[in-house]
Amino acid sequence: MRVILDTDMAMGVAGSEIDDGFALALIASDDTFALELVTTVNGNIDVETGTYLTGELLRRLGIENVPYVRGAGAPLAEPDRAKSSTDHIRAAFGHHEPSPGYAAAEIARRVVEAPGEITIIAIGPLTNIAAAINLDPRVATHVKEVVIMGGVFTHSTNRLSMPGEFNFWVDALAARAVVRSGAPIRLIGLDVTERVRLTRDHAAQMAASGRSFGAFAGEATVAWIDANAKRHPRDLEALGSCAMHDPLAVAAISRPDLLTWRDARVDVVADVSTGRGISVADFLVSEDSPAPNACIAVDVDVDSFMAYFVEQIRSL
């Protein structure tokens, strides 16, 4: 399957998430995928750092031939929210040179030139995807599918500081634009991603694989669990595990049978109020329900996913 991965790659740098890197690794490990392009976006980390780290991870995975293109450095309508890179990251990884161009333009070009053939896996804020649709509305009709890690649909984040799921909260306007675009969309939200968790035992299995990436992945996992344990000392799950949000979005393509799906009509609160980024899902239970515009994951076979995920990463 031909795929484009759109990501706010962090790889654990500066105390950031590691699951974007695991999502890329899962794509690299599974013959289901033909990875054609990686695009970067502001989110977990600034886009410059994320672009450097994408180049580094492609090298570690032995897929340097895959082009990667820098994308949006800030939300669509909020250039003042751009994050800045740091000199030490530039010094460590700045030797990686992305492909020329702009992510939104490259996404639009590739999708429109191959109608119905390319799936976009979006595991960061949706700025690049919304911009690509704005550049050429045919992106919404020509893309095979947009698979999104984003939103939360059956409960709330219960956080006033971030009422929506992170990716939707960072660029709520882009999230709303994409779900309203008419593109075929599958959504994998926090409802299910928080249930698939990588433990210290999983990290040990990966580290013992004898493979170069497995060892790196095991070390990164332990470091991220330790960081989360310090940040959230009252969260018992965080003391011994971390959620694999983004890899589950990848598995939604390679192993869709691991998830339970429901059609829904989805919209996103896009203003800057206390509801920023909240996703609202109508599960079409009323007589006058609106037409669906997305398919939402509502359950996951946790054990089967974790077995698949760990085995694939150990093979790298």
pLDDT in tens, the chain (316 residues): 999 999 999 877 656 688 999 999 999 999 999 999 999 999 999 999 999 999 989 998 999 999 999 999 999 999 999 988 877 777 777 788 899 999 999 999 999 999 999 999 999 999 999 999 999 999 999 999 999 999 999 988 988 899 999 999 999 999 999 999 999 999 999 999 999 999 999 888 888 877 778 787 888 888 888 888 888 888 878 788 999 999 999 999 999 999 999 999 999 999 877 899 999 999 999 999 999 999 999 999 999 999 999 889 888 8
The distance from CA 133 to its chain's CA centroid, rounded to whole angstroms, is: 18
Helix (H) or strand (E) holding 224: helix 212-231
Q: How many CB atoms lie within 10 A of CB 202?
A: 21
Using the structure block, give the residue that is written with the tokens 């675009």: 181
* pLDDT score for 42: 96
Sorted by where each starts, the structural domains of the chain and their CATH numbers stand as 2-196+244-314 (3.90.245.10), 197-239 (no CATH)
Pairing of strands 145-149, 279-282: unpaired
Cα 46 to Cα 201: distance, rounded to the nearest angstrom: 31
Do the Cβ atoms of 189 and 165 come closer than 8 Å? Answer: yes
Cα Rg of the chain, angstroms: 18
* pLDDT score for 47: 95
54: CB partners within 8 A, 6+ apart: 7, 9, 24, 38, 40, 68, 96, 98
Q: Three-state SS for 72?
A: coil
First-to-final CA distance of the chain: 20
Q: What are phi and psi of 14, to 5 degrees?
A: 55, 35
